[in-house]
Amino acid sequence: DTILIATLKNGIFYKNNKAFGVWKTSNDQLLKEKRIYTSCGLSGNQIALGTSSDGLIIIDQNHRICRHLSKKTGLQNNNILCTFQDKNSNIWLGLDNGIDFTMPNSSFSTILPEKDIQGTGYSVCIFKDKLYLGASDGLYEAPWQSFYDPNKSNYFRKIKSTDGQVWGLKEIDDNLLIGHHEGTFNLRNGQTTLLSSEPGAWTFIKVNSDTVVGGTYNGLILYTKSGGEWKFKKKLKGLNESCRVMVKDIDGYLWISHPYRGIYRINFSKDPAKEIDVKFYDSKNGLPSNLNNYVFQISGRAVFATEKGIFRFDNKLEIFKPDLDFKKQIGASERIKYLKEDSKGNIWYVSQSEVGLLLVNDLGLRKETKKKVFRELDNKLVGGFEFVYPVDENNIFFGSEQGFIHYNGSSSKSKESTFQVIISQIYASGERDSLIFGGFFVDKNKICEEQSNLLTPSLKSNLNNLNFNFAATDFQDPTLIEFRTMLLGSDSKWSEWSTESNKNFSNLRPGAYTFQVQARNSDNIISKVATYSFRIIPPWYLSKTAIFLYLILLLAGIGGFHVYQKQKFRHEKEILQASHAEKEAQHLKQVEITKAALAQTQNDKLAAEISFKNKELASSTLHLVQKGEILLTIKNALNNMLEKSVNAEVKKEIQQLINLLNFDVNLDEDWEQFAFHFDQVHVDFLKRLREKFPQLSANDEKLCAYLRLNLSTKETAQLLNISVRGVEVSRYRLRKKLKLPNDVHLAEFMIHV
């Protein structure tokens, strides 16, 4: 029921139904001096005041200034001309030159104990209603309270005698033990005392009610309580390594990890002041490697972070085994650097790639664990000296490279209904004036929120290289927003999450496509899917008309090919027939040649046989000639003996022998046998001779046979039992009977009969 009125130089006034007056605050003079130029109401009953010379001032419902942002804290300038709060309670500022964006309800904020130095943060502790921050330049103290006036001077003060590197803080029995580069300090009743000058105190573990063990650069130190105060006892022998990371488990063992060697287990005797029992474990005992092994305490037990996930120690087998519960949540291949359990059993972790929280929900018989990743912390924690200090849900501290980071888990988050992804621009690569979509749809000069079927563009075939630009309505840190895309019609699944805010598709084929994109912010809220549908028209050579022409050409080609093949078949058939005929002719010729060769062979064989028969016949004829000569000799001898013999009876016997020799029967038989063999050899020579020349006598036939045998005149005379002269006469008479001319040789004529 109240209206607030901001004036330029006179502060803020109020008006309601009852009164009108000054709306007093504790900083009225400041508001008058800085000149309120613009204002707006904020969620949570707060007011944003934009000034002309001192930036933005936010006042809560108790009239207190709870935020004061100026150029010193990050604004571009202090002259604010306009203020606006969006749906996520973020404030937008229109400046004299530029626009600024601020998140007053952000879950994360930075604490710099000494703004001018901005040292590295290593340790945090709340001790007796005070906040202690251990940094690279000393220990700082500030009151632990719910409200801090931003216009008040720095709340932090540096503790005396703590200049230098502060490694660790540990509250033990109303004492705050300080691990320092120069030794161990104790803070009690606001005063610091030096407990040990042993350099490089890392951390402290309470062994029992009167004993504390401290880890240093060069081993362990024992502290005992005397008169209610902690005092240095001695340096323990048996271990001379750096003891920066160590925990005590429920079995009473002290575990110490060395990042370059392995794991040490310390077993204290009943009297911790005596010598300690040290056992060393490395990769031989189940650790994945001797490097980068760290020990932490979860639920009272020691767990071991390695390069291959989380391991636990099996006391019976004395080996390290993978922890299956952590394996499901974090993985077996992730390198874990830090683990911290808060009061509710949730586990904060720092890995090689992320900072996260395992939220453990106890459901009675089982526990449900959810994983939450804080991408805002990527690459901001101190490498190798990661530190998390969870006080409660609203206060979690992280050591960072520049001061400390505070996280408020109950701060307002981005709502899913307000977080959306927007396709801002689509253009074709490599084309001039190729903007296809500029962020909104226009239908009949009206802007539409969604794309309808009528607004689906048809792109030419040469516009098939498309680039999509998109963004998300979360301005907390644009580098933490991730996107994934999918092009329906080309992709079968979503792409991997990536911080890239554009996607390029090359050489898209003709067809219908729908581009889809989703965004995910740092709170793991996933937006609804933003879509854009389009269609790529086939080129002219792939249009329906072209395809129809291609079909006709194809059919014509098939027909022409069929005709061509038919003609080709006919031509090949003719060639084959000609070739076959040629081969047949060659075959027949070869057969004729073979037959001729065979006939020649047979003729040669017959000639050989004839030659053989001729030799036999000549031999037989020669035998007859010799026989005739012998008979003639015998006959002449007998005639001589007959003439000389005087004995009548001897003459008579000789005459009988002469008569016997003159007997022609045997000679005829010899001729018949000769004629038979002669006709066999000379293929019926005598038979053909009788048929052609029937006028020839028996003696003429004998003469022709002897001529055919090419016998000499003397040999012929002996066979015919006549003189040489008689043979010549017989030859002459034969020529007459045959009517041969003088130039025809009688023997050659007989060969051709």
Q: What is the pLDDT of residue 664?
A: 47
- Categorise residue 617: left if φ over 0, alpha if ψ from -120 to 50, beta otherwise: alpha
- Percent of the chain having pLDDT more than 70? 93
Q: Average of pLDDT values for 74-101?
A: 93
Residue 595 CA from chain centroid, whole number: 75
- When mean pLDDT is compared across 134-138, 367-371, 566-570, the lowest value belongs to 367-371
Span 97-111, pLDDT tens digits: 999 999 888 888 899
Q: What is the pLDDT of residue 16?
A: 92
Span 453-483, pLDDT tens digits: 777 888 988 888 999 999 998 877 778 899 9
702 or 258, which is more confident? 258
Residue 243 burial (10 A CB sphere; 0-12, 13-18, 19+): buried
pLDDT at residue 209 is higher than 60: yes
368 or 230, which is more confident? 230
Whole-angstrom distance, CA of residue 476 vs CA of residue 674: 143
For helices 713-720 and 544-644, the axis angle rounded to 10 degrees is 60
Q: Average of pLDDT values for 1-19?
A: 91
How many Cα atoms are found within 13 Å in the side-chain-facing hemisphere of 256?
29
Sign of torsion, CA 673 679 685 691?
Answer: positive
- Categorise residue 436: left if φ over 0, alpha if ψ from -120 to 50, beta otherwise: alpha
Question: Is the distance from CB of 109 to CB of 406 less than 8 angstroms?
Answer: yes
Residue 552 burial (10 A CB sphere; 0-12, 13-18, 19+): exposed
Q: Average of pLDDT values for 55-80?
A: 91
How far CA 130 is from CA of 137, 159, 188, 189, in Å, comes to 19, 12, 12, 12
Other C-beta atoms lying within 10 Å of the C-beta of residue 583? 12
Give 35's contacts (C-beta < 8 A, 6+ positions apart). 8, 9, 51, 52, 53
Q: b or e along 36-75 (b: 16 or more beta carbons within 10 Å of the residue's beta carbon)? A: bbbbeebeeebbbbbbbebbbbbbeeeeebbbbbbeeeeb
Q: What is the pLDDT of residue 455?
A: 77
pLDDT at residue 364 is higher than 60: no
pLDDT at residue 486 is higher than 90: yes
Q: What is the pLDDT of residue 711?
A: 78
Residue 751 banded pLDDT, cuts 50, 70, 90: confident
Q: What is the pLDDT of residue 432?
A: 67
- When mean pLDDT is compared across 24-38, 339-353, 448-462, the lowest value belongs to 448-462
pLDDT at residue 635 is higher than 80: no
Residue 323, token pair as written in the block: 């922890």
Q: Average of pLDDT values for 611-628?
A: 64
Q: Average of pLDDT values for 705-709?
A: 80
Mean of the per-residue pLDDT values of the chain: 86
The overall pTM is greater than 0.75:
no
Question: Is the distance from CB of 55 to CB of 71 less than 8 angstroms?
Answer: yes
In the block, tokens 């040999």 appear at: 715
Residue 665 banded pLDDT, cuts 50, 70, 90: very low
**SS3 of 658-680:** HHHHCCCHHHHHHHHHHHHHHHH
Whole-angstrom distance, CA of residue 464 vs CA of residue 474: 31
Amino acid symbol at 174: D
Q: What is the pLDDT of residue 552?
A: 92
591 or 244, which is more confident? 244
Q: What is the pLDDT of residue 48?
A: 95
- What size, in residues, is the chain? 753
Q: Average of pLDDT values for 573-583?
A: 88
Q: What is the pLDDT of residue 497?
A: 93
pLDDT at residue 404 is higher than 90: yes
Query: Best-predicted range by mean pLDDT among 493-507, 668-682, 714-728?
Result: 493-507
- When mean pLDDT is compared across 63-67, 291-295, 658-662, the lowest value belongs to 658-662
Whole-angstrom distance, CA of residue 194 vs CA of residue 186: 6
575 or 655, which is more confident? 575
Amino acid symbol at 568: K
Q: Average of pLDDT values for 31-59?
A: 92
pLDDT at residue 487 is higher than 80: yes
In the block, tokens 């020649």 appear at: 600
Q: What is the pLDDT of residue 150?
A: 84
- When mean pLDDT is compared across 64-78, 84-98, 593-607, 676-690, the lowest value belongs to 676-690
Span 132-171, pLDDT tens digits: 999 999 999 999 998 888 887 788 999 988 999 999 999 9
pLDDT at residue 603 is higher than 90: no
How many Cα atoms are found within 13 Å in the side-chain-facing hemisphere of 665?
3
Residue 382 banded pLDDT, cuts 50, 70, 90: very high
Query: Which three-class secondary structure state does DSSP give residue 117?
Result: coil
Nearest-CA neighbor of 632 among 731, 726, 717?
717
Give 534's contacts (C-beta < 8 A, 6+ positions apart). 436, 456, 457, 458, 459, 466, 512, 513, 514, 515
Q: What is the pLDDT of residue 20?
A: 94
Q: What is the pLDDT of residue 13?
A: 95
Long-range contacts of 679-686 (CB under 8 A, 24+ apart): 680/613, 681/610, 681/613, 681/614, 681/617, 682/610, 682/708, 685/753
Q: What is the pLDDT of residue 626?
A: 64
